[in-house]
Structure formats: C-alpha cells, structure tokens
Structure 1
C-alpha cells in the first residue's frame, strides 16, 4: 500500500470520534450552509430506488435517505465510524474497504441505483476502485454521485495539477484533528478518468457560499455506460 494511502487509513481511525462529533453538532460551516443540502438535492432529483453511501462516516446521509423511504447501505473502511453509524439502531452499515467493494454482498440489495461519495474520494486509488465496483454493483444506467472540494478553490496557491496535498482541519472544529494527505484532481482529470472507465458525465453542480457567492464544492453525476 502506498504510504499516503496508509496515512489516510491511520488518520481516520484517530479522527473518528472527533469527526462524528463535528458532524452531529454541525460544526463544519460549509456543510451547515450549503453542501449537506446540495448532496441531498442531487440524490433526490434522480429519484433512486436504492443507494450505496460509500465512505458514509457516521452515517448522517444514509439516515436522511432512509427517512425519505430510499433503501440502501452505508460502507466505510473505518470501523469506529461504522460503530458510530450503527448507534442509531440501523444495521445497514458495514465495514468495507474501497478495494473490496466489488466482492461485498449486501443482504437486501443485489444492484444499486446509485453510488454516493460525499467528500469520500480522498486517495489516489479510490476513484478507480469505486468506478470498477460500479461495473458489478450498479444497475444498468446506474449513477455515481460525487461531492468534493471545488478544484479551483481547493487548489489555493499550488500548481493546478494532480498531486498529493496535506489537509487543513482549521475550519472543522475547535479541537485538533490528526492531519491526513489527500489527492488533488483537476476538473478535467475528474471527468476524463471516469470517462476512461466507461462513465459519462450526466450533470455537474457548483454549490456556493450564500454570503460570498463563491463555489465551496462541486458535485459530479456520472452515469454508467
């Protein structure tokens, strides 16, 4: 395993309890003002029968979709986060690495209408692993819905090219998070990499901060060809 990929796994094990607290107490500004509502809207507009919430964390998005009557499952590689997700009493959460998705079996669903990746494609390998899993777990014309940091804003003063970066947690919580690397992709790269894996871009949204009117995330909707 690449050293940066291992650092991601290790850091999330250490950050799990703080992350669950931050989500439940709405301590993340961008989520509270725009991005949580944006991903729910993007999914709801597709009217899916079933979903797989990949990198579900403590499970807030899955629970929201369950409440709308949409059947699905949440998966995460971090056992501590899955334990937090199951605290709600729902058992439709399972520990699973992205590389094992294609072989994972879900007791109530054989094929999913959509995959949802809400700020959960962090490493370099994740995109490829999730897209390939879609070939066996998504139904015909199934969708992959991804929300991630907007490449233009997230790039900052760095060179606009694919590369590993270090995460800043300064706006997440008043308590220190263990740092973790993440893999930056250009807008062109996101689209081209999915196209090469037999997905076409169906829709693209750019949620904005209502105060500054600047984009704070980007949402891709890809359809399996």
Structure 2
C-alpha cells in the first residue's frame, strides 16, 4: 500500500527526509575514508621531506612540502564539510518534526547555506547538487543560482598552500629549510648517492599520489 501511495502521490515528507539522511550518512562515510587516506599519505610524505632535507635536496623537499600543505588543507575542509553534513541531517530532523504539525516541509535558509557550501567540495559535489535539486522541488530550498553551482575552491587552495609552504617546510625539517634564511644546497656526499635514486622514486610517488587525491 505504501508503495502504491508513493507511486500516485509521491514520497511523504518522512520518506524524503529518511532518504536524504541516508545519502548524507553515505557521504559522511566517503569523507571518512578519504580523510584517512589523506592522513596516511601525508604522514609518509612528511617523512620523505625530512629525508630530502637531510640530503640537501632543497628543490624536491619544497615541492613535496607544498603538496603536504595542500593535502592538509583539503583534509581540514573535509572535516568541516563532515560537520556540515551532520548539521543538515539535524536540520532535516527538525523539519520532519515540524512537518508532522504542518503537513509539509518548510523553506530553510540554514539548509540552503550549508548545502551551498558543500556543493563546492568536489568529493561530494554531485550528490549535494542532486539533493539540493530534490529539496528545491520539495519546497525546502530556493532555486540555486549559477554563481553557486560554478564556485570552485581550487585557486584558493593553491594560494593558501603557497602562503604556508615555507612555514611547514621549516617545521618539518627542524629549521633546516624554509624560513631559516640560510638554506643548505650542498649535494649529497658520495657515500649517500646509492640512496639518492630510491629517494627520488619515493618523492615522485608521494608527489603523484598527493596530487591525484587533489585533482
């Protein structure tokens, strides 16, 4: 009977909210997995930065440190987005309580604001766009503007990474590189050259892995 009513009249407010909350939980789990992956790769890359600094490979250390900064920034944004997903779920629960009294879902500027911010995160952008459209049809959200749909944080992330890379490099290398001013650029000693090829491979691997996560 429920499926027949759904086919004829469409989903009830409770059914809509439960479906949205299920999607929000799925996106939260997705962010948890990606944040863990970023954390593992970031830790490995930080170790390599220290090794490169010890060898005096300033250029490679700085390139990899920049990727570390970008990854850490992305992880922070994912953490904030995860909290926002939880906030939307809570707001929907409040909507459901009101719907039992009024019989319909109401417009919510808070859900609108949270949804707009989450559309900007590539990892969950598509799902949030689809959910926002559904919520708009259900009367919770107003129509989204093209400005919201086309927002992109990539350039901002790049600028933040450029601004902080020297600070992070300085911290990771215990003051050997970065803000210290005088930076050692000496080539590795002869006895260390056997390890140089392997370190370069590690550097390239970590750089590519970190860049692929952020692409």
| Range of TM-score over shorter length | under 0.3
- Give the TM-score normalised by the residue count of structure 2: 0.27
- Give the TM-score normalised by the residue count of structure 1: 0.26
Of structures 1 and 2, the one with the larger relative CO (CA 8 A, separation 6+) is 2
Higher strand share: 1
Q: Which has the larger radius of gyration?
A: 2
Higher helix share: 2
